[in-house]
Structure 1
Amino acid sequence: MLKIQEIRELIKLVDQSSIEEFVYEHEGAKVKMKKKGAIVSKNAAPVQVVSSTPEVVAPQPAAQPQAAAVSETKTAEPVEAAPAKDENLHKITSPMVGTFYASSSPDDDAYVAVGDKVQKDSIVCIVEAMKLFNEIEAEVKGEIVEILAENGQLVEYGQPLFLVKPE
């Protein structure tokens, strides 16, 4: 079963993400979190945690009216200001919801800094989700122009983390 600290981390991640409902099942135990209301904000209502018998929950398609209302609300919110004006820059995005780390440990130097040259397979950061540390690669050969996330910041799926000027 999940520890209370792990459940708290899950609540934070779900609260700050765009998903409306999260279900986790393990060894007969089930944790289900669902946001109240259709508007998602940093001051959203508390998330419900319910334990019951296992059931299969399929992801809801975005075409449903309620999900469409949520996406309309989210587009009105400022998501991320794109400070770079060069449209030729490659965005390295987060492949998952999690916590951004610029280095492998607090004592180590950051994987990359602005101005560093990277290869396609260069590790640029770590995104931690559910106690799993996922190394994120540059995906393109070039130079780091801007770092868009701060160390320890919660990031969402698809959120730009770095801008790279391809070579």
Structure 2
Amino acid sequence: MLKVQEIRELIKLIDQSSIDEFTYEIEGSKIKMKKKGAEQQVIVQPAHAVEVPQPVQVQAAAAAPAPAVSSAEPKQPSKEEDNQDQANLHKITSPMVGTFYASPSPDADVYVKAGSRVSNDSIVCIVEAMKLFNEIEAEINGEIVEVLVKDGQLVEYGQPLFLVKPE
């Protein structure tokens, strides 16, 4: 059976290639990956009766979030205000594909959270790629407005991690 890190590397390779579908079988286990536009689906089927987590869904950074469906009347002014606010914010993006970690270790406090002040050399998170832990710096002076990813989440190259209000 492949290790989680090996599966992540396969996902990364398939994501960077023009392959739409990939199947890999080893020792009775089967891994099948399919790409649909900006979405990938990974299904791992073990040979033995083992408890397996649900299939992993990976969203590429270029994918736009699905619009929320609401029965209430749409509020156009607040949407425009949000867009203007978003336009004034700086996005700290992931420089690589990897796993996002908000703190230096599982029992430590997070580097930053909403409301934290950062300078251009402040470490805001770690992105683990190929067993290397890369510290990501803010590269801007300002205040963290929003953390866009969860601890332990797989992130793509160029995916926004934080929104920062520049000073």
TM-score using structure 1 length: 0.62
The structure richer in strand per residue is: 2
2:17 aligns with one of 13, 20, 24: 20
Q: Is the 8 A contact 1:100 1:125 kept in 2?
A: yes
| Residue correspondence of structure 1 range 1-167 to structure 2 within 5 A | 4-5=2-3, 6-14=5-13, 17=15, 19-20=16-17, 39-43=37-41, 77-79=63-65, 85=83, 86=85, 87-167=87-167
Distance change (3 Å), C-alpha of 1:84 and 1:92: farther
Q: Is the 8 A contact 1:116 1:144 kept in 2?
A: yes
Query: 1:8: how far off?
Result: 2.2
Give the root-mean-square deviation of aligned CA atoms.
3.2
Residues 50-98 of structure 1, C-alpha deviations (whole Å, 9 max, x = no match): xxxxxxxxxxxxxxxxxxxxxxxx96x43588x9531111100000000
Give the aligned residue type for 1:42. Q
Deviates more, 1:37-46 or 1:123-132: 37-46
Query: 1:102: how far off?
Result: 0.3
Aligned counterparts of 1:118 and 1:90: Cα–Cα separation in 2: 12
Query: 1:118: how far off?
Result: 0.4
Distance change (3 Å), C-alpha of 1:40 and 1:140: closer
Q: Secondary structure at the match of 2:39?
A: coil
- Residue segments in structure 1 that go unaligned for 5+ positions in a row: 23-34, 47-73
Give the aligned residue type for 2:89. L
TM-score using structure 2 length: 0.62
Query: 1:45: how far off?
Result: 7.9
Aligned counterparts of 1:140 and 1:90: Cα–Cα separation in 2: 8
Aligned counterparts of 1:144 and 1:94: Cα–Cα separation in 2: 16
Q: Secondary structure at the match of 2:7?
A: helix
Query: 1:4: how far off?
Result: 3.9
Give the percent of matched residue pairs that are identical in Structure 1 and Structure 2: 55
Q: Is the 8 A contact 1:13 1:154 kept in 2?
A: no
Aligned counterparts of 2:104 and 2:11: Cα–Cα separation in 1: 22
Q: Provide the residue aligned with 1:58 in structure 2.
A: none
